[in-house]
Chains A and B, each alone.
Chain A
Amino acid sequence: MQERLKELQAEAIEKVEQASSLKELNDIRVAYLGKKGPITEVLRGMGKLSAEERPVIGAFANEVRAAISAKMEAKQAELEEAAVQAKLASETIDVTLPGRPVKLGNHHPLTKIIEEIEDLFIGMGYEVAEGPEVEQDYYNFEALNLPKGHPARDMQDSFYITEDILLRTHTSPVQARTMEKHEGKGSIKIICPGKVYRRDNDDATHSHQFMQIEGLVVGENIRMSDLKGTLEVFAKKIFGEDREIRLRPSFFPFTEPSVEMDISCKICGGHGCSVCKHTGWIEILGAGMVHPNVLEMAGYDSRVFNGFAFGMGPERIAMLKYGVDDIRHFYTNDVRFLKQFAVEE
């Protein structure tokens, strides 16, 4: 009997080893270990055995069963793992296919420049001041030391609506209004961005509408050296640490002394090229110490208070910084242009 069980064990194990599917394995289980299987059948014949033999054979039969079961379990795990692997293999995808696009827009390049400048100055304690685009002649000109008939008004041909109302030609009236609101008291640190308008024919370098961003600091002890230091921080931050700055005396009716600031040309590194007209320098902004007439008109005592102001054109900055060659691109809004400014630097 033992012999028969041994045979069955060897036979079953061989079949298990050869099984190639879970179903096959299950069939083997039913065939050998089931109630109608050969082992059960062998055990049925145990009645004929002696009392001494019965437990021995019984124990042996259980060993055989256990051995077959263990083998089956191992084989089952093996087959299951193979099935998982096969399934995973069948699920392989081409990871180089493009992903599902996430729709993304971005800032207009001028907004990008303006916010960058705003943030820089906010970090230095400035607030952002805004004012009307349609302005009174008084705030646009007179309060800025440009009385009627002043020759410098020649420099800014304007869009008038009535004799006293016009589209502002610069954002400086925001400065005049802010100073006036302070009624001659306390210090001011503002940055004023916004749209301005001039009677220019639109071409590659002119636009009848464009942006400006200006800054104004008023206080009891503001020095020209402070202006110089502030402008240097600005230039290095916006154009890069490696850029040189140069201040030149200039003239604006609302500042005295007046300044124009150049930065060293990025294209040629200051050696001279067509972009910088062979000077190595690129003009970037106008600035100066607030003219005493402007302070006085706004109600500040110019013997006690002084200040500095600066102004620049985001279009020009964007053109220089990104190499844009035509100012009209900013206002035609070709999406192939707009989407180039998505990257956060």
Chain B
Amino acid sequence: MLVSYKWLQDYVDLSGITAKELAEKITKSGIEVEGVEVLNEGIKGVVVGYVLEREQHPNADKLNKCLVDIGAGEPVQIICGAPNVDKGQKVAVATVGAKLPGGVKIKRAKLRGEVSNGMICSLQELGMEGKIVPKEYAEGIFVFPQDAEVGTDAIALLNRNDEILELSLTPNRADCLSMLGVAYEVAAILGREVKLPETKLEPVAEKASDYVKVVVEAPEDNPLYVAKIIKNVKIGPSPLWMQTRLMNAGIRPHNNVVDITNYILLEYGQPLHAFDYDRFGSKEILVRRAKEGEKFTTLDDVERSLTADHLVITNGTEPVALAGVMGGANSEVTSDTTTVLLEAALFNGFTVRKASKDHGLRSEASARFEKGVDPNRVRAAGDRAAYLMAKYAGGEVLTGAAEVDTLTIEPAVIPITLEKINRVLGTDLDMNQVKEIFARLQFEASVDGDTITVTAPTRRGDIKIEEDLIEEVARLYGYDNIPKTLPVGSSTPGKLTAYQKKRRVVRQYLEGAGLYQAVTYSLTSEEKAAQYALEKREAIHLAMPMSEDRSVLRLSILPQLLEVVKYNSARQNDSLAVYETGNVFLANGTDALPEEREHLAAAITGLWTNHSWQGEKKPVDFFVLKGILEGLFAKLGLTDKVEYVQAQVDGLHPGRTAEILLNSKRIGFVGQVHPSVQKDLDLKDTYVFELSLKAVLEEETDDLQYVPIPRFPSITRDIALVANKETVSDTLKEIILEAGAPLLKEANVFDLYEGDKMEEGKKSIAFSLKYADPERTLTDEEVTKVHEQVLAALKEQAGAVLRG
């Protein structure tokens, strides 16, 4: 809502308060003023001029040479390019030395050999938006009415010496979609009076009800319809003050009748519609739901196809208006109109909203009906519009109105105790303070002991319950004045759950290991959603996506993380290590919420070690990432529960991928991105993992228990084995540990050779075996005996023998 500071003074005395101060006060009491626009900012030296002569510029077809009286000194010659400039017009002249918006300075100039002492201005040149400029002046200069006085300040005459407060209204404050509503608010804030606008109807004897009758078929959609008749109107421009007020509020002037309906819309917040009575097509107004497929052409010359959801005003047979949204071309007021049928009605907000949404037609009227208008203001608004039509369009207002009224107005009557107000706010107000606040708001209130009973005025449809009253008290008392306390009562220790705590451990660990945390989108494309999914499920689609790329909920994090790698690689961030934790979404049928499972994924690429001046440069590989995972599981106490098994995963290198098992259940995978995928994405070798973080964090960690440090030395024996190439180290290790138990404590791979010195299909793999007994020092003989068992088992179970 754009509120003119000058216009507002019609209703509230604003003396002593600047527009800026007012904006600050309004903001602090609950309606955010987003800005204060000074309309004449940067404009100086524009006066009303009178075009004495106009002739064709001798050297330019499109220019006019004008002689203009600017009220001071001799008339001046001005060259003007506007097509509509003519002799006898009163126009806005930017004189030499004038300043216009955008830092334009007017200087004496020569145009094609002719001197120009200033500029005749269009409204756009004076800083007004093209869409609010009256159509006849949109392509040229603005012409003042003849009574404009030559030499006076044109900006003042155009009402541009005003400041506009831009109110950002929350949905509950529809009352401030009108100047009067704002006036009540401002009066309450300042503790001043509201002056209501004047309506002095002097109706002629003829009755409106003899001209038209109203039938409403759908009273719940239209509880009140008032039709007034104004005859003998003369269509013409509305007074300049009205036109300029409309323009300052962002509305384009049309003619006196239409401007008056718009003016009342702004003043009362009540949308009105003026029909041409003679073009109406009947003497009956029938308000009904539209028929399915019924056609109707609105004012904007668009043919609309209607449904039974839409309410229409008809002449008994065909629609003449889409109720509360827009009138029809067939009954529109034109320059020939002499009798006006004026509609002041109350339409159901939901019905209006539906129609306005279905047809993509949001009008000043529909916005107000949707948010709710004051039912008690409908007639007053109609009467005042009729009065203004008599005054400014020379019309005669007929007695009474044709109307249907099924409206029941029940103002909210809300009792509340002082104790409750103070208890909720934490204040210590007394009843007089509370009473005074409601008096300022012009809410009726009566006090009985500790209880004050408030009747909310119908203009404030948002006041329904005690808490609404508490808010009114709080905002007018001032939020600044409410004390600052902290909740009292039983205090509980705040904490994270075990899951949340461990999630933080995971993040810290991974970051300590060199990975940056990324956050990517949950919505992705259908194609990407299923890539690298740990569990294949039907993807979840949005009903109305904004784009293909963001149409499906992800089943895995990796595709997005690979995008991150790609994005960075393309920007010379060649070495990268990132991880992300976040939910993936697994469908549970269409009616149930999906399962949301927290995953952890990581991707590393480029150099892992880069300490170039000492010659240390090592690219990432599978074991870098596996090492990070091993460390993670060690940190979470899960080392013994986790296994890695060679596996095939779509999109990963078939020979360099492992599934991760937790308690023998598959929870994720780790591997190299498949070279063909790397090529597609233009990536260097990239290693990734993705796993169910939920499974990992929900796994119970054993309680910490101290194990005594060995007091006796251990004995280490190294063995180099020749084994089949496909026998994996884990298999050999298991055989060793099993055969060597209980004295054998550890077996660690320390060398691997698969070169051409080996027999075909064989590899050399060396283990370091550590024997120990917590109770004593082992003898060589004892160790040798067990060691022989180990070697025998290796030979028997895996065909692995000592390398000769």
A positions within 8 Å CB-CB of B: 97-98, 100-101, 103-108, 110-111, 115, 118, 121-128, 130, 132-136, 149, 151-152, 154-155, 159-162, 164-165, 167, 187, 189, 195, 197, 199, 201, 208-209, 217, 219-226, 228-230, 232-233, 246-251, 256-260, 277, 289, 291-292, 306, 330-336, 338-339
Contact of A225 among B35, B467, B484 (CB under 8 A): B484
Most buried by B among A162, A225, A258: A225
B489-A221 in contact (CB<8A): yes
B493: Cβ under 8 A from any A Cβ: yes
B701: Cβ under 8 A from any A Cβ: no
B706: Cβ under 8 A from any A Cβ: no
**Closest CB of chain B to A254's CB: distance in Å?**
12
A229-B510 in contact (CB<8A): no
A333-B519 in contact (CB<8A): yes
Neighbouring A residues of B576 by C-beta, 8 Å: 335
Give A306 to B426 CA distance when docked, in angstroms. 12
B689: Cβ under 8 A from any A Cβ: no
B564: Cβ under 8 A from any A Cβ: yes
A333-B578 in contact (CB<8A): yes
Neighbouring B residues of A122 by C-beta, 8 Å: 494-496
Give A260 to B34 CA distance when docked, in angstroms. 14
Q: Which 10 A-B pairs have the closest CB atoms?
A: A225-B426, A103-B514, A249-B30, A223-B426, A251-B170, A257-B471, A122-B494, A249-B475, A229-B484, A256-B467
A291-B467 in contact (CB<8A): yes
Contact of B471 among A107, A115, A249 (CB under 8 A): A249
A226-B494 in contact (CB<8A): no
Give A229 to B170 CA distance when docked, in angstroms. 25
Neighbouring A residues of B483 by C-beta, 8 Å: 225, 228-229
Neighbouring A residues of B545 by C-beta, 8 Å: 159
Give A256 to B613 CA distance when docked, in angstroms. 65
Contact of B474 among A130, A165, A257 (CB under 8 A): A257
Neighbouring B residues of A306 by C-beta, 8 Å: 424
Give A328 to B270 CA distance when docked, in angstroms. 43
B458: Cβ under 8 A from any A Cβ: no
A208-B489 in contact (CB<8A): no
Taken residue by residue from 511 to 535, chain B's Cβ proximity to chain A (1 for < 8 Å, 0 otherwise) reads as 1111111111111000000000000
Contact of B577 among A105, A108, A126, A197 (CB under 8 A): A105
Q: B422's closest neighbor in chain A, by CB?
A: A223
Contacts beyond the supplied A232-B484, A256-B467, A260-B32: 15 A-B pairs with Cβ under 8 Å = A101-B611, A105-B578, A111-B507, A127-B496, A128-B496, A159-B543, A167-B523, A209-B523, A220-B489, A228-B482, A246-B480, A247-B479, A257-B475, A333-B567, A333-B568
**Closest CB of chain B to A69's CB: distance in Å?**
44
Give A229 to B468 CA distance when docked, in angstroms. 22
Neighbouring A residues of B492 by C-beta, 8 Å: 125, 127, 189
B positions within 8 Å CB-CB of A: 27-30, 32, 34-35, 170-173, 349-350, 353, 370-371, 423-427, 465-468, 470-471, 474-475, 479-480, 482-497, 500, 504, 507, 510-523, 540-546, 550, 553, 564, 567-568, 571, 573, 576-579, 582-583, 585, 590-591, 593-594, 596, 608, 610-611, 613-614, 616
Q: A111's closest neighbor in chain B, by CB?
A: B517
Give A233 to B487 CA distance when docked, in angstroms. 12
Contact of A334 among B27, B425, B571, B596 (CB under 8 A): B571
Give A259 to B571 CA distance when docked, in angstroms. 44
**Closest CB of chain B to A10's CB: distance in Å?**
55
Q: A226's closest neighbor in chain B, by CB?
A: B487
Q: A303's closest neighbor in chain B, by CB?
A: B420
Contact of A257 among B370, B467, B521 (CB under 8 A): B467
A228-B517 in contact (CB<8A): no
B494-A189 in contact (CB<8A): yes
Neighbouring A residues of B511 by C-beta, 8 Å: 104-107
A250-B170 in contact (CB<8A): yes
Q: B35's closest neighbor in chain A, by CB?
A: A277
Contact of A127 among B490, B495, B504 (CB under 8 A): B495
Neighbouring A residues of B585 by C-beta, 8 Å: 133-134
Q: A262's closest neighbor in chain B, by CB?
A: B27
B577-A223 in contact (CB<8A): no
A208-B519 in contact (CB<8A): no
Contact of B553 among A123, A126, A134, A249 (CB under 8 A): A134
Neighbouring A residues of B173 by C-beta, 8 Å: 251
Give A189 to B517 CA distance when docked, in angstroms. 29
B543-A161 in contact (CB<8A): yes
B522-A338 in contact (CB<8A): no
Neighbouring B residues of A125 by C-beta, 8 Å: 491-494
A162-B591 in contact (CB<8A): yes
**Closest CB of chain B to A239's CB: distance in Å?**
16
With A111-B517, A217-B487, A249-B29 as contacts: A152 and B171 at CB distance below 8 Å: yes
Most buried by A among B475, B486, B500, B522: B486
A338-B540 in contact (CB<8A): no
Neighbouring B residues of A223 by C-beta, 8 Å: 423-426, 485
Neighbouring A residues of B27 by C-beta, 8 Å: 248
Give A189 to B493 CA distance when docked, in angstroms. 10
Give A249 to B474 CA distance when docked, in angstroms. 8
- 28 residue pairs A–B, Cβ–Cβ below 8 Å: A105-B511, A105-B512, A105-B513, A105-B514, A122-B495, A122-B496, A127-B494, A127-B497, A128-B500, A134-B594, A149-B353, A159-B542, A164-B591, A167-B522, A189-B487, A195-B582, A208-B550, A221-B489, A228-B485, A229-B484, A232-B484, A251-B170, A259-B479, A277-B34, A333-B578, A334-B573, A335-B576, A338-B518
**Closest CB of chain A to B804's CB: distance in Å?**
40
**Closest CB of chain B to A18's CB: distance in Å?**
44
B489-A187 in contact (CB<8A): yes
